[in-house]
Amino acid sequence: MHALLEPELWAALFTLAALEIVLGIDNVIFLSIMANKLPEAQRARARSLGLIGACLTRVLLLLSLAWLARLTQPLFHVGDWPVSGRDLILLGGGLFLLAKSALEIHSSVEGHHEGEASAAAKVAGASFAMVIVQIMILDIVFSLDSVITAVGMTDRLGVMIAAIVIAIGVMMFFAGPIGAFVERHPTIKILALSFLVLIGMALVGEGMHFHVPKGYIYFAMAFSTLVEIINIRMRAKLPPAG
- pLDDT tens-digit series, residues 140-177: 777 766 676 666 566 677 888 888 888 888 888 888 88
- The answer to whether residue 242 is domain-embedded is no
| Best mean pLDDT range from 11-25, 137-151, 174-188 | 174-188
What pLDDT band is residue 101 in, cutting at 50, 70 and 90?
confident
Query: Strand pairing partners for 82?
Result: 77
Q: What is the pLDDT of the chain when averaged over all its residues? A: 75
pLDDT at 151: 63
- The answer to whether residue 89 is domain-embedded is yes
The answer to whether residues 96 and 196 touch, using CB atoms and an 8 Å cutoff, is no
Which among 210, 229, 164, 193 has a CA at the least distance from the CA of 24? Answer: 164
- The answer to whether residue 3 is domain-embedded is no
pLDDT over 80 (residue 2): no
pLDDT at 124: 39
- The answer to whether residue 140 is domain-embedded is yes
Cβ neighbour number for residue 174 with a 10 Å cutoff: 14
pLDDT at 120: 45
pLDDT over 80 (residue 179): no
pLDDT at 105: 81
pLDDT at 112: 52
* Rounded CA separation 210/195 (Å): 19
pLDDT at 155: 65
- The answer to whether residue 1 is domain-embedded is no
pLDDT at 145: 66
What pLDDT band is residue 88 in, cutting at 50, 70 and 90?
confident
* Rounded CA separation 122/149 (Å): 38
Does the reported pTM lie above 0.85? no
Instruction: Return the percentage of the chain with pLDDT > 70, whole number.
Output: 80
The answer to whether residues 120 and 112 touch, using CB atoms and an 8 Å cutoff, is yes
The answer to whether residues 110 and 104 touch, using CB atoms and an 8 Å cutoff, is no
The answer to whether residues 29 and 196 touch, using CB atoms and an 8 Å cutoff, is yes
Low-confidence winner among 116-120, 162-166, 221-225 (lowest mean pLDDT) = 116-120
pLDDT at 150: 66
* Rounded CA separation 52/169 (Å): 9
Which among 154, 131, 178 has a CA at the least distance from the CA of 29? Answer: 178
pLDDT at 176: 80
Containing structural domain, residue 83: 8-237
First and final CA of the chain: distance in angstroms? 69
Q: In terms of pLDDT, which residue wins out, 155 or 183?
A: 183
Please count the structural domains in the chain.
1
* Rounded CA separation 150/157 (Å): 9
The answer to whether residues 236 and 119 touch, using CB atoms and an 8 Å cutoff, is no
- The answer to whether residue 37 is domain-embedded is yes
DSSP, collapsed to helix, strand or coil, labels residue 237 as helix
DSSP, collapsed to helix, strand or coil, labels residue 211 as coil
Which distant-in-sequence residues (6+ apart) come within 8 Å of 17 by Cβ? 162, 163, 166, 167, 170
